[in-house]
Structure 1
Amino acid sequence: MPVLPHIAERSDELTAIRRDLHAHPELGFQEHRTSAIVQDLLTQYGVDELHVGMGTTGVVGIIRGKGEGSRRIGLRADMDALPIHETTNLPYASRTEGVMHACGHDAHTTILLGAAQYLAATRNFGGTAVLIFQPAEEGLGGARAMIADGLFDKFPCDEVYGMHNNPNGTPGLVKIKPGVAMAGACFFDIAVRGVGSHAAMPEDGSDSIMIASALVGTLHSIVSRNVPPTKPAVLSVTKINSGNAYNVLPDSATIAGTVRYFHEEIRDLIVGRMRDICAGLAKMHGIEIDVEIRNVFDVLVNDTALSEAYLAAAAEIVGAEHIRVSEDLVTGSEDFADMLKVVPGAYCTLGHDGTVPVHNPGYVLDDSILPIGASIMARIVERRLCI
Structure 2
Amino acid sequence: MIDLIQIRRDLHQIPELALNEVQTHDYLLKTVKNFPQTWLTIREVPELPTALLVKVSGTDPKRTIGYRADIDALPVTENTGLPFSSKHPGIAHACGHDMHMTVALGVLSHFAENQPKDDLIFFFQPAEEAEYGGKRAYDLGVFEGDWHVDEFYGLHDRPDLPAGAIGTNPGTLFAGTTEINVDIIGRGGHAAFPQNANDAVVAAAYFITQVQTIVSRNIAPTDSAVITLGKLQAGTIRNVIADHARIEGTLRGFTQKAISYLQGRLKQVAQGVAESFDCEVNIELNQGGYYPVENNPELTHDFMTYMQSQPDVNFIETPGVMTGEDFGYLLNKIPGTMFWLGVNDSHELHSAELSPDESALVPGVNAICGFLAHRMSE
Q: Deviations over 1:322-359 (max 9, x none)?
A: 11334x23322322222223322211111121132112
Q: Which residue is equivalent to 1:301?
A: 294
Cross-structure match for 1:3: none
Please give the per-residue CA displacement for 1:248-307, whole angstroms capped at 9, x wherever unaligned: 665433222221223444334322321222223233333211101133322322233322
Query: What is the DSSP-based 3-state SS (H/G/I as helix, E as strand, rest coil) of the residue aligned with 2:118?
Result: strand
**What is the CA distance between 1:246 and its match in structure 2?**
7.2
- Which of residues 367, 372, 380 in structure 1 aligns to 2:371? 380
Aligned to 1:129: 120
Partners of 1:83 and 1:251 in 2: how far apart? 34
Q: Retained in 1: the 8 A contact 2:200–2:242?
A: yes
Query: 1:30 aligns to what?
Result: 20
Matched, 1:329 2:329: no
For 2:90 and 2:239, how far apart are their aligned partners in 1? 32
Select 1:49's aligned residue among 31, 41, 52. 41
The verdict on how the C-alpha distance between 1:243 and 1:101 changes in structure 2, with shifts beyond 3 A counting, is farther
CA–CA distance in structure 2, aligned partners of residues 93 and 218 of structure 1: 46
Q: Secondary structure at the match of 2:245?
A: strand
Structure 2 gaps, min length 5:
none
Work out the percentage of aligned pairs sharing the same amino acid.
30
| C-alpha separation in 2, matches of 1:217 and 1:90 | 46
Q: CA deviation at 1:169?
A: 4.5
Query: Any idea what SS the aligned residue of 2:54 has?
Result: strand
The structure 2 residue matched to 1:235, chosen from 197, 215, 227, is 227
Are the aligned partners of 2:161 and 2:341 in contact in 1 as well (CA < 8 Å)?
no
Q: Would you say 1:158 and 2:150 are equivalent positions?
A: yes
- 2:82 and 2:238 mapped to 1: Cα distance? 41
Q: CA deviation at 1:145?
A: 0.9
1:84 deviates by 2.9
Q: 2:360 aligns with which of 366, 369, 379?
A: 369
Q: Residues 204-283 of structure 1 correspond to what in structure 2 (within 5 A)?
A: 205-242=197-234, 250-283=242-275
Q: Give distance in 2, aligned partners of 1:64 and 1:234.
A: 44
Q: What amino acid sits opposite 2:312 in the alignment?
A: G
What CA RMSD, in Å, does the superposition of the two structures yield over aligned residues? 2.8
SS in 1 for 2:61: strand
Q: Provide the aligned length of Structure 1 versus Structure 2.
A: 373
1:90 partner SS: coil
The 1:24–1:205 alpha-carbon spacing in structure 2 relative to 1, beyond 3 Å, is farther
2:136 matched residue in structure 1: 145
Gaps of 5+ in 1: 1-5
The answer as to 2:82 corresponding to 1:90 is yes
The 1:224/1:377 distance shift into structure 2, 3 A limit, reads: same
Q: Deviations over 1:133-159 (max 9, x none)?
A: 111122422111111122221412232
Change in CA separation of 1:369 and 1:42 when aligned onto 2, cut-off 3 Å: same
Deviation of 1:24 (Å): 2.3
**Contact 1:317–1:372 (8 Å) recurs in 2:** no
C-alpha deviation, 1:205, in angstroms:
4.1
Distance 2:229 2:61 in 1: 50
